[in-house]
Structure 1
Amino acid sequence: MPETDAPENPDTEPPESAATPASGTSLAAERPLRSPAFRWFFVGRSISMAGNAMAPVALAFGVLEVTDSAAWLSVVTTASMVPMIATMILGGGIADRYRRDTVLRLTSLGAGLSQAGVAVLLLTHQNPALLLPLAALNGIFQGLTTPALRGIVPNLAAGRGFQQASSLLASVRNTTRILGPTAAGLLTATVGGGWAIAADAASFLLAAAFFARISLPDLPPRAKGGPTMLGELRQGWDYFSSKPWIWTVTLAFAVFNAANMGVWQILGPVIANDTIGAEGWGLVLSARGVGALLASVVMVKLTVRRPMVPALSSMALAAVPLILLGTGANTLWLVAAAFVSGVVAEFFTVVWETVHYTHVPERLLSRVGAYDECLSFASIPIGQLSVPVLAAAFGTAAVAVTGGGLAAVAMLMPLLVPSLRRIEVNRDGG
């Protein structure tokens, strides 16, 4: 729980804001895998992440197989991203207002059904325009899911369990990132990307079944005349906007994500399609997963007292693959840069989650997390839609190199905020 007597950290919360683990998990909360509720969540998330790891490669090359068009790929990808961002804040209000295990069951079921529809369209080589409503529906379910995922860990863990739980989940996520893209690349090259999307659909449905085994305690009855959903969302915004250590990082990632996702997700497959192929691109993405896995395993035990300076400084290295992509680097250089990018990105992710679990009140976690992710993701469609236009006007290389430089600078800017540099993680907690 937060250190409430540290005057050097003005953003620390008082004792009543500490996260409360689910009933029946308190004895095991600092060792998450001893908790049955966390184990069901862990298995469900692991299955879902395995499918998700294959989806980006499968969707990218599946659309390119049908259309041979970067513009179509950007439209389909944006059709999912925009509804996700639009519903994320609402998802934060829902996840703080209702039981998060129930939210995850319903959204996983919906995502599984919508992804199944995408798989059918890709397997039958239908007009890509038919993908747009299903991609939008899937984006909605993602937007409702993400804040619940951000908030549920403190319901299942406590104290040292925060960073352990984040690191365990990150280790699985990164293992799937190693195997998933390569598997998707091989499937795409042999039988088509639709089968990898079908596996992703099945993983959502299985995850929903495992989430059904989690039973969080019912929330206390709401007092008559209590705040409405809109009022609760306003409370989340008031907290978010009052903490410079949160919103400056959010703005930095808005810039980083626009450059990174635009160049990497749109130009990356297009360049790879003409150079290293789907198999090579899968290896590059898998290398990023290897680096991230290494970082997440180390972070199970490693605690940095004031982690935000090294976390943000190292994140500038995550922009190097974009620059190499623009300079026409071969597979070996891209694999090496992607590996380093994976290490620093996962280090930051675990640190950021742990800082949130330690310093943001549990009752506000999903709403604050929703504002954080919504605003940092809101620029992604701009990047995805503008990159093909910019590449046509200025050239692919210039856009990739410029995007990489912009992303690197963005990661360093929040370090100018004194309260961010002073943020600590509890030695007994995250």
Structure 2
Amino acid sequence: MTQTAGPAPARPRRRPPAWAGRNYSLLTAAAVITSLGANGSLIAAAFAVLDAGGDGGDVGLVAAARTLPLVVFLLIGGAVADRLPRHRVMVAANALNCLSQAAFAVLVLAGEPRLWQMMLLTALGGTGQAFFSPAAEGMLMSSVSGEQAGRAFAFFRMATQGAALGGAALGGALVATVGPGWVLAVDAASFAVAGALRAFLDVRHIPPRPPGEGLLADLREGWREFAGRPWLWGIVVQFSITNAVVGAADAVYGPLVARDHLGGAAPWGLALAAFGAGTVGGALLMTRWKPRRLLLAGTLCVFPVALPSAALAVPVPVAVLYVLMFVAGTTVEVFGVSWMTALHQEIPEDKLSRVSAYDWFGSVSLLPLATALAGPAESAFGRAPALWGCAGLVVLVTGLVLLIPDVRGLVRRTARVTASGAPSADAERAVGGLG
């Protein structure tokens, strides 16, 4: 007698990891959407200027118009984000970015946008970014807890870096096929979708902040938190210089070396893509590796960032450059995840956005100056010596940061510092692998 088979047992539903809660998932999805749009829009904005009859100098002016308000308003944005509900600050900033990019798209699609109009709208976008970035970083750090925070940050960065890489490639293709105006319109739509997602963030877990003494008092309190930690301000100073010289090498010297020695724009674009792919690989690595000495491991991984500038100074064959760019992207992402984990662990929740604002301020403040001085430096010293100087400065400032005892000694803990500034009960138990 044959027996009929019963229904197959239901496969257990795979649950997301404990650290991937509702807020974290919303933040990651929104960040991926805006990364796709924003990295395409950077290419679209440059070509919109060129299509309107501008030259390289005009492209630089539009880029500077975005950076200037970003530098000016970052610290205020951090204080506001620690005073108001962070998700509301993020949504308001997304709305401003959406409207400014939509207006930019309309001008381009209508034909013959003027330079001052493009600069004004780009400046509005930079203002929105100045308020958004500290709020977003504080919100992300408050959305995860426990010893899996490093893995959560690694997955977040892997997702956004992958989206940035795809957004740049897709944006370039769309600019070539449908024109920059439509790419700017897509970016505006991405801000609208991301803002809608961020409106659903749950902030009930964040304790209400008592009334303060005003914006200036909040800024002073944030400065005390920043200046009182040598590891914090030391690394911010390190990266203000590192970002500046690497940015100058990538924006100014890289295209020139590619034109003269590597075969033109296409190989240089592939080199930048290799760096982006390396950042995705580095984030993937950090989902598994949890160095015990966070800042020591991260800072040691900054030294390879000097390799691409040195390679351009030689210059090496393009295949070697691809490998070195990938290595630099991988190692700098190891630092990035370690850095976020250290901030999450050490900075009280109610000061996260203000400290993040000082971090962002240091990261971008010297970049316009370095980019502006790159041309005169080449004229004065030559291109190869200027590139060796960029590589040497990265090595020098990274070596100096290692002299700070807290950079060498800060260890991973299972819990973050509470709002009072004291570790929670189990915070002293170190976790993770080799430091």
TM-based fold match above 0.5: yes
Aligned to 1:353: 340
Q: Compute the displacement of 1:302 (Å).
A: 1.4
Return the alpha-carbon distance in structure 2 between the equivalents of residues 374 and 66 of structure 1.
32
2:376 is aligned with 1:379: no
RMSD over aligned CA atoms reads 2.7
In the alignment, residue 348 of structure 2 is paired with which amino acid?
A: P
Of 186, 190, 197, 1:199 maps to 186
Stretch deviating more after TM superposition (344-353 or 147-156): 147-156
- 1:65 is displaced (CA, Å) by 5.5
Percent identity among equivalent residues?
A: 29
Q: Is the 8 A contact 2:146 2:414 kept in 1?
A: no
Aligned partners of 2:146 and 2:164: how far apart in 1?
A: 28
Q: How much has 1:142 moved relative to structure 2?
A: 0.7
Distance 1:146 1:281, change over 3 A: same
SS at match of 1:305: coil
Deviations 1:128-187 (A, max 9, x none): 343211121111111111101110123321113421221111111121233222223333
Rounded Cα–Cα distance in structure 1 between residues aligned with 2:209 and 2:136: 23
> Residue 301 of structure 2: SS of its match in structure 1?
helix
Distance in structure 2 (CA, Å) of the matches to 1:160 and 1:77: 40
Aligned AA (2:273): S
- Give the AA of the match of 1:92: G
Specify the code of the residue in structure 1 equivalent to 2:245: A
- Greater alpha carbon shift after TM alignment, 342-351 vs 260-269: 260-269
Secondary structure of 2:204's counterpart equals coil
Q: Give runs of aligned pairs for residues 102-181 of structure 1, distance below 5 A.
A: 102-122=88-108, 124-181=111-168
Q: Following the alignment from structure 1 to structure 2, what is the Cα–Cα distance between the partners of residues 336 and 118? A: 37
Q: Is the 1:292–1:342 contact (alpha carbons within 8 Å) kept by the matching residues of 2? A: yes
Residue 119 to residue 282, structure 1, CA distance change in 2 (3 Å): farther
Aligned to 1:17: none
Deviations 1:165-222 (A, max 9, x none): 2111111112123322222333344444444333322211110111112131296666
The structure having more radius of gyration, on CA atoms, is 2
Report if aligned partners of 2:90, 2:132 keep a CA contact under 8 Å in 1. Answer: yes
1:282 aligns with 2:269: yes
Structure 1 residue matching 2:302: 3-state secondary structure: helix
1:119–1:195 CA contact under 8 A, matched in 2? yes
The SS at the match of 1:403 is helix
Mapped partners of 2:277, 2:39: distance in 1: 13
Q: Which amino acid aligns with 2:390?
A: G
**Partner residue in 2 for 1:236:** 222
C-alpha displacement of 1:378: 1.0
Please give the TM-score of this superposition, normalised by the length of structure 1: 0.85
In the TM superposition, what are the counterparts of 1:30-429 in structure 2 within 5 Å?
31-33=18-20, 35-64=21-50, 69-122=55-108, 124-217=111-204, 223=210, 226-269=212-255, 272=258, 276-427=263-414
Cα pair distance change 1:415/1:170, threshold 3 Å? same
TM-aligned CA distance change 1:74 to 1:324, over 3 Å: farther
Instruction: Tell me which amino acid in the other structure corresponds to 2:248.
Output: G
Equivalent position amino acid for 2:229 in 1: K
C-alpha spacing 1:408/1:125, structure 2 compared with 1 (3 Å): farther
Contact 1:308–1:421 under 8 Å retained in 2:
yes
Cα distance in 1, alignment partners of residues 106 and 381 from structure 2: 37
Gaps (5+ residues) in structure 2?
1-14, 417-430
TM-score (norm 2): 0.84
Aligned-partner residue type, residue 285 of structure 2: V
- Are the aligned partners of 2:35 and 2:167 in contact in 1 as well (CA < 8 Å)? no
Aligned positions, number: 401
Question: 1:304 corresponds to which letter in structure 2?
Answer: P
Cross-structure match for 1:14: none
